[in-house]
Amino acid sequence: MVFILAVISIGLIFSVFALLQCRHQAKKLKSAATANESELLKLRNSEQTLRYELSTLKTKLRHAIEDPVTGLPGWQLFEDRVNQSIVEGARYQLTMGILYIDIDDFKVINDALGNEVGNAVLRELSVRLKSCIRQVDSISRFAKDTFAVLLTQLGKPETAAIVAQRMLQALAQPVQVNEHHLYLTACIGISIYPSDGQDAATLFRSADHALRMAKKKGNQIYQFFQEKIFINSQRELALSTGIKRDSLPSEFLIFYQPIKNMLNEKIFCMEALLHWQHPELGLIAPAELVAYAEKQGKLNVISEWLLKNACRQFTYWRTLNFYPDFLGISMSIRQLENSHFVYRISQVLQELDFNPEWLLLEIRENISQISFDVLEKAFNMIKYLNIKIAIDDFGAGPFSLRDIKHSHVNYLKLDQNLLDDIEQNEQSVDLAKSLIQLSKSLHAELVIKGIDSDHQALIWKGLGCNLMQGRLIGTQISEKEVVEKMVTK
């Protein structure tokens, strides 16, 4: 019995072991099947990915050869033709032209009528443009509504202008798409090989710049690339970018130009003129600095920097027994219409313990640029602070006598070009007398700018004007030169 039980027990053990083995094998087979399914799924995914990439490459290749909307040669094919023409041009001294044609306000068509109509219009325009060029020339669509044309073997650059004019006329004809009757205009930029560039990238950039210049001028215009304009554009970019840098104040230089009272030979005012020592472009004059600062919204910050540093310098001069009556700081009328900025001026003067009666704000622009109510409020605030006001370049443009009459202006700085011929022209003398009488009626004193000779100074003194500025009185000088040349006197 015991033997039988033992045999049965051993048989059960072997059976359990066999069962466990079967289960283990089943798990292995199931795991293998799952792995095979996973591998199969990966292979299927890889196949789909490869098919998608192959389809994408085919599309890109097709688009490189042919534009999908217009059927024109694709951009890469066009660029290759340009490079081939450059090689031929260099070898045989040939001239060629690149034209960028941009359709004005084309986005309006797409937004209003849809892409289908827009694409139909582009196809029609491409046909018209193609009809304006020779078989040896090439055309492609550079962007959605911009076409590029290669004119090879030009006899002279003026031929490109003839083609451009022909294209503008062709594009101006009405376009009929379904029930829509559309009138379009365009602008064209032209660059010429080799004068405007000797490689494709430069020629494209020059044509694009010429196109932007044409668009600024209006519709239905073609424009050749002009290197001077391009250089100015590069300068504008450098200044606009540089004026945003945090290190900008370290590049500022203040120069001072004196205004003298010729009656007692005393310095009436030291006008502070802020310059920018640009690391690449050199010294930037105040007018240009102000223009870019205003565009970038930095004018108030820069003006505050000038005010603080010039006031400190003015105070330092007084410790050296140099006592000008005023420190002249140029301001924009747009700045003064902001009451917060005027309040900030008063805060700066308080922080520096600077006497407001020493400050002369020279208003650059025509005071008629802002409403009379705003102007009156701004000038009343300045008067309340005991700061003096001068209108700069008086007589240079239109102005409202009513505004000046009610604005508590203390000085009128006469535009130096208005009466620069006073030595030879009797009419200028008569006009000067009238302006003097006008200033007296406004309870303001004239400051005569542009005094370059003793004879000029003598004439103005004879007319009763004693406040003068110009090369005869003194040119712009640095802070160090003020101490060396003027404080020691």
> Would the pLDDT of 20 be above 80?
no
User: How far is the C-alpha of 461 from the C-alpha of 456, rounded, in Å?
Assistant: 9
What is the per-residue pLDDT for 4?
A: 42
What is the per-residue pLDDT for 252?
A: 95
User: How far is the C-alpha of 106 from the C-alpha of 125, rounded, in Å?
Assistant: 12
User: How far is the C-alpha of 19 from the C-alpha of 379, rounded, in Å?
Assistant: 104
Q: Which of 408, 470, 411, 403 has its CA nearest to residue 435? A: 411
pLDDT digits 0-9 by tens, 335-366: 887 888 989 999 999 999 999 999 999 987 65
Q: Which of 125-139, 196-210, 249-263, 367-381 has the lowest mean pLDDT?
A: 367-381
Give the CB-side neighbour count of residue 3, counting CA atoms within 13 A.
Answer: 0
Give the three-state DSSP class for 53.
helix
Long-range contacts of 369-373 (CB under 8 A, 24+ apart): 369/333, 369/334, 370/333, 370/334, 370/337, 372/400, 372/402, 372/403, 372/406
> Would the pLDDT of 15 be above 60?
no
Distance of CA 470 to the CA centre of its chain: 33
Percent of the chain with pLDDT over 90: 48
464: alpha, beta or left? (left if phi > 0; alpha if psi -120 to 50): left
In CATH, which of 3.40.50.12160, 2.40.37.10, 3.20.20.450, 3.40.50.150 is domain 245-487? 3.20.20.450
Tell me what the mean pLDDT of segment 465-481 comes to.
93
Give domain limits for the chain.
75-226, 245-487
pLDDT digits 0-9 by tens, 185-206: 999 999 999 989 999 999 999 9
pLDDT digits 0-9 by tens, 314-327: 999 999 999 999 99
Say what the pTM is. 0.63
At residue 142's C-alpha, the angle toward residues 138 and 145, to 5°, is 115
Provide CATH code, domain 75-226.
3.30.70.270
User: How far is the C-alpha of 73 from the C-alpha of 55, rounded, in Å?
Assistant: 20
Give the list of residues 6+ apart from residue 63 with CB closer than 8 angstroms, or none.
Answer: 74
* Axis-axis angle for helices 2-65, 75-92 (nearest 10): 50
**Residue-averaged pLDDT of the chain:** 85
Q: Which tokens go with 287?
A: 């007018």
